[in-house]
Amino acid sequence: MPEPAIELIGISKSFGTVRANRDINLQIMPGTIHGIIGENGAGKSTLMSILYGFYQADSGDIRVNGKPAAILTPNDAIAAGIGMVHQHFMLVENFSVIENVILGAEGDPLLKKSIAKARAELERLEREYGLEVDPDAIIEELPVGLQQRVEILKALYRGAETLILDEPTGVLTPAEADHLFRILRQLKQQGKTIVLITHKLREIMAITDTVSVMRQGTMVATRETAKTSVEELAELMVGRRVLLRVEKGAANPGAVKLSVKNLTVKDSRGVTMVDGISFDVRAGEIVGIAGVAGNGQSELLEAIAGTRRAVSGTVDLDGSAIEVVGHADPGELRDRGLAHVPEDRHHVGLVLQFEENENSILGYHDDPRYLKGPFLDIPAIVQDAEDKIAKYDIRPANARLRTANFSGGNQQKIVLAREMEQDPDVLIVGQPTRGVDVGAIEFIHKRLIAMRDAGKALLVVSVELDEIRSLSDRILVMCGGRIAGERTPQCSEGELGLLMAGVEQPEAAI
């Protein structure tokens, strides 16, 4: 047997009273794709951050290709042939691709030789691995899938033989995820070792050779992927049997709660993103919107929520018009019973430097429950946050912790708890389970169905077709800013995919 490419021996790490990793042992064999799965807060990202030198373990050893390695900084990891693509990209958005690739690895003060060398090396890497990207493109002008390729190119340019990817498909469309997997298989064929951190079990089954399962900071099992199943992995992750499908009864739609008529919205460049859309959402139903990212779904939700001005059209909330063309007021909409879970939790849903309890009332801070006279009632706010933490299983259970220190999935649960617990009449949700583990997905889906059954009107946007088909009572498909068709949840994924691509299909019976 060859030496492991990476071996972690007895790794432990604590942050104050929180034990993120507990005596972890792990072997990753060379030339394989090794998955690491676990619930949000299970310690996956912490473990890989130790391997990459962001954190130092409190105890334990690291071996690379059978030899002890002292990895105290990312530079040490890079020198050991380890690269990492983070869940949230580490790119300078107004730099070009080639400038980002050489950043931190410049060879001369004027950069002329460095850029020429990098350009030649990028051409070689693109040929070998199918990582085509314009080296002179500006990062902020690239779609997210290409930005991820730049991160991979950065690691390969620095000589990475082992590549760690942290939740790499959390921001990708299904088509982009498929292309990423083709790239990973090509890297494996070229002898690279891949470590894939994810919570998506079907992706684990599709791409990995071996999978290790973490739960509450410990390593509970390692399996050959071909000899395990989605059901076994889910149970190992959560510690109990997990329902992998949405159980719901038939919808009982009532009065129209949200009505959108001829809505047109443009983006900051003046490009029409929503083009004359009309639809209704009734009490007691979930309307799902499917579509490839970038086809107007984000702008649609923002216009309804009052965070983006529409060009024309009308939106009625419970029979009364809301301002969407002039100056919209999201606070007024909240007061009128509309809650919004935004797609981008980092830039819109949360203030990451705030404590968890502060984010748990964001937008509702003038509610009398949180006030003592003219001042915020801090003990009441903290108690309210602790109640939500317990109800939504947010980890770590610390209402005074900065929100930036929570995992992505737990940040998502903070936003969901804040909006759902207001008991709104209308809830609009963008990507409800993005970055969320299988146990939390089950919980969130149950909560959404419970709101529907309580007579609430829900509009849900998701790029996950399984999620849209499982949750929705009616599905609207967006393509090019328009409604390409309406379907029932019983329609096939292939039929939805054709509509998403703009291929006209005969109308199905609704």
Per-residue pLDDT tens digits for 255-293? 999 999 999 999 888 999 999 999 999 999 999 999 877
**C-alpha dihedral sign at 341, 343, 344, 346:** positive
**Cα–Cα distance measured from residue 243 to residue 276, given in angstroms and rounded to the nearest whole number:** 39
Position 171 pLDDT exceeds 70: no
Instruction: State the pLDDT at residue 509.
Output: 41
302 and 374, same domain (yes or no): no
| Structural domains in the chain (count) | 3
Per-residue pLDDT tens digits for 20-43? 999 999 999 999 999 999 877 788
322 and 388, same domain (yes or no): no
Tokens 């996950």 appear where?
464
Q: What are 6's strand-pairing partners?
A: 28, 64
The answer to whether the predicted template modeling score (pTM) of the entire model surpasses 0.75 is no
How far apart, in Å, are the Cα atoms of 178 and each of 139, 148, 222, 375, 478?
A: 22, 13, 25, 51, 21
Per-residue pLDDT tens digits for 340-397? 999 888 888 999 999 999 999 999 999 999 999 999 999 999 999 999 999 998 988 9
308 and 354, same domain (yes or no): no
Q: Output the DSSP codes for 38-73.
A: E-TTSSHHHHHHHHTTSS--SEEEEEETTEE----S
Structure tokens at 142: 């690239």
Residue 314 belongs to domain spanning:
244-337+425-510
Assess if residue 180 is contained within a domain. Answer: yes
Assess if residue 217 is contained within a domain. Answer: yes
303 and 439, same domain (yes or no): yes
17 and 149, same domain (yes or no): yes
What count of other Cβ atoms lies within 10 Å of the Cβ of residue 292?
A: 19
Assess if residue 177 is contained within a domain. Answer: yes
| CATH of residue 318 | 3.40.50.300
- Asked whether the beta carbons of 489 and 473 are under 8 A apart, the reply is yes
| Domain stops at, among 185, 215, 238 | 238
Q: Give the 3-state secondary structure of residue 81.
A: coil
Position 510 pLDDT exceeds 60: no
Assess if residue 1 is contained within a domain. Answer: no
117 and 224, same domain (yes or no): yes
Position 110 pLDDT exceeds 70: no
| Domain stops at, among 216, 238, 260 | 238
Q: What are 314's strand-pairing partners?
A: 261
Position 508 pLDDT exceeds 60: no
Assess if residue 134 is contained within a domain. Answer: yes
85 and 234, same domain (yes or no): yes
Instruction: State the pLDDT at residue 28.
Output: 97
Instruction: State the pLDDT at residue 504.
Output: 65
320 and 378, same domain (yes or no): no
153 and 206, same domain (yes or no): yes
373 and 448, same domain (yes or no): no
Instruction: State the pLDDT at residue 17.
Output: 83
Q: Give the 3-state secondary structure of residue 292.
A: coil
Per-residue pLDDT tens digits for 112-131? 777 888 888 888 888 888 78
Assess if residue 304 is contained within a domain. Answer: yes
| Domain stops at, among 391, 423, 455 | 423
305 and 267, same domain (yes or no): yes
**Mean of the per-residue pLDDT values of the chain:** 89
Assess if residue 390 is contained within a domain. Answer: yes
DSSP state of 96: B
Q: Please, what's the b/e burial string for 362-390 (b: 16 or more CB within 10 A of its CB; e: otherwise)? A: bbbeeeeebeeeeeeeeeebbebbbebbe
**DSSP E strand boundaries for 318-359:** 320-322, 338-341
373 and 510, same domain (yes or no): no
Tokens 């409800």 appear where?
432
